[in-house]
Structure 1
Amino acid sequence: MHINFKQFTSPPEQQFEHKSPLPGEIWEISCFVQSPLEFSTEEQQRLYSDIARSFLEGNSPPRYAMIITEPESPEPGEEDWTIISVMLFSEQTNFLSDVDILLPTGVSGMEQDLLALTWQVQPMLAVNLAQSVGQGLSREIYDALLNIGDYFHGLVEQPPTRQSIESLGLGMGTVKNSPSSAPFFFAEFHQQEEAWADVLKVPLDAYRTYQRTMKFTGEILDAALELEQELNRISLRQWLQDIFEEGWLSFAEFLPKQTAFAIRSQEDSSQLPSQPQAITKLIEQLSPGKDEYQRRLAAKQLGEIGSGNKNAISALVNLLRTTTDDETLWTGVESLWQIDPHNPAAGTRRVKLIDWGMQVAGNAIALSVALIQKVNGQVGILLRVYPTGDAAYLPPELKLLLLDESGQILREVTARQADIYIQLKLNGQPREQFSVSVALGEGSITEDFVI
């Protein structure tokens, strides 16, 4: 058995109608059954009963059915495999009973009388209907036949009366054909008809197997695509475990190589004389009950005077572990970078020189990505672009862009005349994907990340 991906075509000797079947219509059932799966000869021998195979091989009379429901709305891409429900008819009118109802030619418009097997309602693939025949049955006849079958299956308490059945021009036998006490030859007839229904059941089961297979295959392909996308992206989750891709430098490795940036960084991080009393007051300003701007200002000042002070370091670490304000968080991180650069509470920070042929005023550009685990489970991310080499400022109109996984711009910032860096902040969930682009004029460099 394998999936049939070919465009299905009808055998030349059979002409299919393409109108949609409607409830109450009588349709001939095709002996050229179709399904999304193709079966070998051995599989057909195993799946189909003898009487079903005889019909499919063209060795038994035509079969008909009354349409019960209109075709179900198909899933996108599966329009060829709509499902309908039908009531099977038989030409063996000698098995007339209280549930096997006679449809005379005057009622059905057929050339021969038919037996409506009211107990045999089956779902099937609409594609396996050949053509409409006879004339559509009235709503009264349609309802009466369904009510008889519902009574047989215990779904209603009373069947239509014989008088009401016969008033519709239908014939009802005297044999009581209940599931538990049918005469032997009627029971054998029903078993035979159940076996014939393989003609409808096997293609439908094949379609449902196909659906499950394609859904499972789709899930596998989606997972594989997602994994491939992740593998092609820089994993920030690994950064939090101190695993870094080649080319991403620590700040300790980066600074000595960048003359202007290193001098400016030393100037920015130069410490005022330690002032224990001032530090104590600033630490008090970090308490959660204080105004957020006041806490942020205190955190910044601790980065200026708290170098080597264990209390200042401990207070900043506690701030990072408790604050829910992003501005306060990153102010605290930067202060901790200044007074205790290797403290793990400040997250991780890496820098990459962007020098793939995009030179700006003779100097490459550096992209910095800093991460910190937040108290709400998200990951805080700080993106910055710095000038490098002897350049003191970024070139004007240089852009830093944040892109979603489809490449759409979410946010951007543009360098002005004397910017020493530009930055963007964001928060993300594990496995969330994004990209960062640095652009100037028509040139751009993009890095893809997954959290």
Structure 2
Amino acid sequence: MSIFQQQTQFLSKIYPEHIWIDVDLSNLGESPDCMKLNRVCISAIVKYLTESLDLDVESIFPSAELERAFVSTIVNGFVLLVSGVKVAFIPSLDLDLAGFEVQQEWVDLSRWMADYYVPVRIDLESNCLHLWGFISHQSLQQRSHLDRHVRSYEIEGVDLIGDLDSLWTTCHLVANEIVPPERGKIPSEIQISPLEAITLIDRLHQDRSGFSPRHILPFEKWGAIIDSPEYLTMYAHPKPGIIQISNWFQQVTDLANDLVDRGWVKMSEVFDKSQLKPSYLGGYMAAPAVKGISLGSDLEIHRAVRNLYSSQNTAKKVDLPADIDSPLLLLIYLMQHTTDEYLRWQAAEYLWTISPENDLNWHRRIKDLGLVIQGHKLGLMVAAIPLIDGTYAILNRVYPIGTEPYLPPNVRLNLFAEDGDCICEVESRSTVMDNYIQLYFTASSSDRFNIQVSMNEDTIVEAFAI
């Protein structure tokens, strides 16, 4: 018999009112995560309470609608309905009986809070679970200390009631309304709008800090997500929020605000934050230019636009309209009528550079993807041009954001059909420094597609519909 087994036998004699459950813990490994601990504890404790004590037990977490498996990877513990009363069980590998911790979710969220809390010692060496007392919700709130840094209530062992038989009796009395439940302040449900929930969930999914999601958002915001069955399901089963591109052409304030809330902003709001501006955005040079073609004066602009018309392939040529003299209108006409995609987006570059406040810029949006890899930040730009046949020309481009003018190697940009088939892809090169990588195509009004940006193990997916 090992020293650990001897210690367990010794404790069971000192605390006969505690519960000791034999269970095979050999498959847990040396450092089991909380999901494994919760799973083995639920199975063993439910079996013990129903078979050995003949109690009516139902497993909830903390209600039937919520995502047990997903939450178990984040929050430690689980709730059982014992004779209809909510009892939270908190597993721990700590063998000390000086006290235990209850994460804040189990106390301060309306759907999560329990009536009673039971610490569970997991003794890997002795292959047993040790239930060594309980405390009511009211007593926990009154006697424990909330560590706001780790978001856990710290309970002293002396504040627990060691006689667990009295807990099952109390559950029976509470369920039959013979005595009232010992609840402290009942938290109110935290309300946030669906739009705010989508934004917060997107932030959680894109976070690369390495911290637990419990600590990324303020507790009130985090609680509002996981205390709502609807929002928790959205978080547990992420689906890309679909961006409706055709809506971009409706000058409606609510649509603009929705795009901003989801991270899509005008190009100027990203690049104007830095004094350094890449040359392909009209920076680093005394006058605006596109790919070395100066657009700093009216004469240069007129010459560049006419040269653009002249450079067309004969088979795809769009004639220069005799009744249009404005270079801006000439560019828009060429963009809408040409079948040469490269020429179309070259004309768009001219327009964006010549008239950055033109209405067409409303149809060009960029999103900071939150990818920080070896000091690099990446942004995804999407631009759309309505064509005369009712289709849309779409440009997707990945830029470096910040002071770096070039992309790191091996940044991949993929276009996927709605069914998951990869249509095309491009990757930044290691032999040549790329200012950006891009894909362009045309889409009809019924089309849906996904854009994926990835580098090494980091991947971001954005979903679009025309």
TM-score (norm 1): 0.41
Which structure is higher in RCO with an 8 Å CA cutoff and minimum separation 6? 1
**Based on CA coordinates, which of the two structures has the bigger radius of gyration?**
1
TM-score (norm 2): 0.40
